[in-house]
Chains A and B, each alone.
Chain A
């Protein structure tokens, strides 16, 4: 008697009632294939932590995210406070906080951060301005792609820092070579990633546009461009990280200010606590840039966000 009850339970009470009200007799199969009780199967064991390509419960995810920061921080604190390493090499979190405060009151922190951010903004801003039209044109027109892809493909594999000596010879020691380095280091990757995104615009969407009376120009500006906008923002989010590294590289080589310059100076005076402080600032600003571009995506491209 258990099997039919189980089947009814599986069908759900509602199904049963609906069947009855419509004068249909609910099926209570007695054949062996139906009456097999759900035994513990040989199949996959359930897991929360190891779920493949699936969400985990919100509290669990929050807890793990807190651990992600807290554990490395705790280890640092622990190692520093146990005096396992000379604090000239590994300053404690407290010393780093004090260094941060010192840099702040001396006014260096604000100046250097502002200088680095300005270079990234101008260099990456120019790269973005150039890469959007070229990337879209390369993705949309096979002709433009054939014309530009080979040269860009080669140049982008030349490491941008290798250009620093040349840039200094050409542009001197001011802001120009640093901005040029950031520009060169990001523009080609921006272009190629935007180009790839355009290739994924469904052809049927363009054909629909034509059969609605659209011209090529309209398809380019009113269909392709909005379609790849989320990809453009994502491209920027990924490549702005590169520009953030390049600005430090440029400042390490030759600069009067900037977070990279601050690190070099700190090294000269063996102020590892200041180096740590600068590294943390670099990380936090980079993370903030990432978050703000994610926010921009959510605000402008609701259709592309889950």
Chain B
């Protein structure tokens, strides 16, 4: 899998601003010339996961018997309406909450708490406001005890990957929403997680920036093939980005369907005009509306 890191990035659409990574300069990190990625394989498995919250009105079942998996280099989305417990699901995988029943394993190891093997991107841009962009990206490595010289190089590399080298010395408050989220992504990638968890990462962005970021994310994934598990309520976004989609229905959150998206991996915005794309989107929308569509491949 690691070999894919060396694949050249094909720049497909003119993305806004000079800050955008139209070309990713170094295909392979200078510090890792022969070992492109420290985790050549990854296997995330979720077994019979159930989460119940105790409220004043009594227990509420947020997630009921969830079974799913993510394999090396996959981009998997979970779509669901609000209240379907999709954020809860991601927090459980991240180890930020504990399940009521069931378990998650990463490479066979049971998740018992948060760790850098499961880097998380939040919807609220969680940059450290007192640190420069550079220091933000270095911070994960600093926490892990990486030396100053190496983490500076790693951070610079990933800032280049997300096209924000010019902003290395800026403070987060000087950046736009999309740029902040790119810093957060660079920071997570620099920590070299086995899987990147994304909780509605583009939910707070305006439509144009959102589209730019989706394309950016797809390009980034095509280049790095980092395994991604992303939560979104945006069906269009899920179909555009992922290879596989879990459709989550609410009250309680259960997996309604697993959808394989058989579209080319180097997608651009024009694919939204394709019939196949629209079929996927409408099919999943119908599932969320409570209809079952036999036409949908599953």
Partners in one complex: yes
Which residues of A come within 8 Å of B, CB atoms? 202, 204-205, 207-215, 218, 222-223, 226-227, 229, 301-304
Judging by beta carbons under 8 Å apart, are A303 and B126 in contact?
Answer: no
> Is residue B118 contacting chain A, with contact meaning CB distance below 8 A?
yes
A211-B120, A212-B140, A213-B116 known; A205 vs B126 contact (CB < 8 Å): yes
Q: A204 near B122 (CB under 8 angstroms)?
A: yes
Across the interface, which residues of A come within 8 angstroms of B171, CB to CB?
302-303
Given A213-B140, A213-B144, A213-B191, answer yes or no on A208-B120 (Cβ-Cβ < 8 Å). Answer: yes
Q: Could you tell me if B130 and A218 are in contact, using CB atoms closer than 8 angstroms?
A: no
Q: Which of B139, B142, B173, B187 has the most CB of A within 10 A?
A: B139
Whether B128 contacts A213 by the Cβ 8 Å rule is no
Q: A304 and B115: CB pair below 8 A?
A: no
Residues of chain A within 8 A of B139, CB atoms compared: 212, 222
Q: Is the CB of A303 within 8 A of B129?
A: yes
Given the complex, which residues of B lie within 8 Å of A214, measured CB to CB? 140, 143
CB-based contact B124/A211 at 8 Å:
no
Contact of A202 with B126 at beta-carbon distance under 8 Å, contacts A210-B114, A213-B140 already known: yes
B93 to chain A, nearest CB (A): 10
Q: List 14 A-B residue pairs with CB atoms under 8 Å apart, sorted by A's residue number.
A: A205-B126, A205-B128, A207-B114, A210-B114, A211-B96, A211-B114, A211-B197, A212-B116, A212-B139, A213-B140, A214-B140, A227-B130, A303-B171, A303-B172
Known: A215-B143, A229-B130. 15 other contacts (CB 8 A): A204-B124, A204-B126, A205-B128, A208-B126, A210-B96, A210-B114, A211-B95, A211-B96, A211-B114, A212-B187, A213-B116, A213-B144, A227-B129, A303-B171, A303-B173
- Does B232 interact with chain A (Cβ within 8 Å)? no
Q: Which residue of A lies closest to B114 (CB)?
A: A210
Shortest CB distance B129–A (Å): 5
Q: Who on chain A is nearest to B120 by CB?
A: A211
Q: Which residues of A contact B118 (CB under 8 A)?
A: 211
Q: Which residues of A contact B163 (CB under 8 A)?
A: none
Mark B163-181 against chain A: 1 for CB-CB distance below 8 A, else 0.
0000000011100000000
A210 and chain B: residue at smallest CB distance: B114
Q: Which residues of B contact A (CB under 8 A)?
A: 94-96, 113-116, 118-120, 122, 124, 126, 128-130, 139-140, 142-144, 171-173, 184, 187-188, 191, 197
**Would A226 and B124 be within 8 Å (CB), given that A209-B143, A212-B116, A212-B139 are in contact?**
no
Residues of B within 8 A of A301 (CB): 130
Q: Which residue of B lies closest to A212 (CB)?
A: B140
Q: CA separation between A222 and B131, bound complex, in Å?
A: 11
Q: How far is the CA of A304 from the CA of B95 in the complex (A)?
A: 31
Residue of A nearest to B132 (CB): A303
Contact present for A207 and B120 (CB under 8 Å)? yes
Partner of A211, one of B94, B130, B172, B173: B94
Residues of B close to A213: CB separation below 8 A: 115-116, 140, 143-144, 191
Residue among B94, B113, B114 with max Cβ neighbours from chain A (10 Å):
B114
- Closest partner residue, chain A, to B171 (CB atom): A303
When distances are taken between beta carbons in the complex, the residues of chain A under 8 Å from B144 are 212-213
Say yes or no: B130 contacts A226, CB within 8 Å.
yes
Complex: A302 Cα to B114 Cα, angstroms? 31
Task: List the B side residues contacting A222 at CB < 8 Å.
Answer: 139, 142-143
A202 to B124, CA, bound (A): 10
Determine the chain A residues whose CB is within 8 A of the CB of B115 once the complex forms. 210-211, 213
Cα distance A227–B128 in the bound complex, in angstroms? 8
Max chain B Cβ within 10 angstroms of own Cβ: one of A212, A302, A303: A212
CA distance A208 to B191 in the complex (A): 12
A207 to B116, CA, bound (A): 11
Given contacts A207-B114, A303-B171, contact A212 B128 (CB under 8 A): no
Are B130 and A304 interface neighbours, CB within 8 A? yes
The CA-CA distance from A288 to B83 in the complex, in Å, is 54
- Report the bound CA distance from A301 to B116 in whole Å: 29
Q: Are A211 and B129 in contact (CB under 8 A)?
A: no
Q: Across the interface, do B116 and A223 meet the contact criterion of CB distance under 8 Å?
A: no
Q: Do B130 and A212 touch (CB < 8 A)?
A: no
Q: Is B122 within 8 A of A207, CB to CB?
A: yes
**Residues of B contacting A215 in the complex (Cβ-Cβ under 8 angstroms):** 143
**Given known A-B contacts A213-B140, A213-B191, A303 and B130 have beta carbons under 8 A apart:** yes
State the Cβ distance, A303 to closest chain B Cβ, in Å.
5
Distance of A229 Cα from B115 Cα, bound (Å): 27
- What residue of chain B has the Cβ atom nearest to residue A211's Cβ? B120
Please measure, in the bound complex, the distance between the C-alpha atom of A255 and the C-alpha atom of B248, giving whole angstroms: 75
- 4 A-B pairs closest in CB distance: A213-B116, A212-B140, A210-B114, A211-B120
| Cβ distance B226 to chain A, nearest Cβ, rounded Å | 14
Chain B residues near A211 (CB-CB < 8 A): 94-96, 114-116, 118-120, 188, 197
Please name all residues of chain B whose beta carbon is closer than 8 Å to the beta carbon of A212 when the two chains form the complex.
116, 119, 139-140, 143-144, 187-188, 191
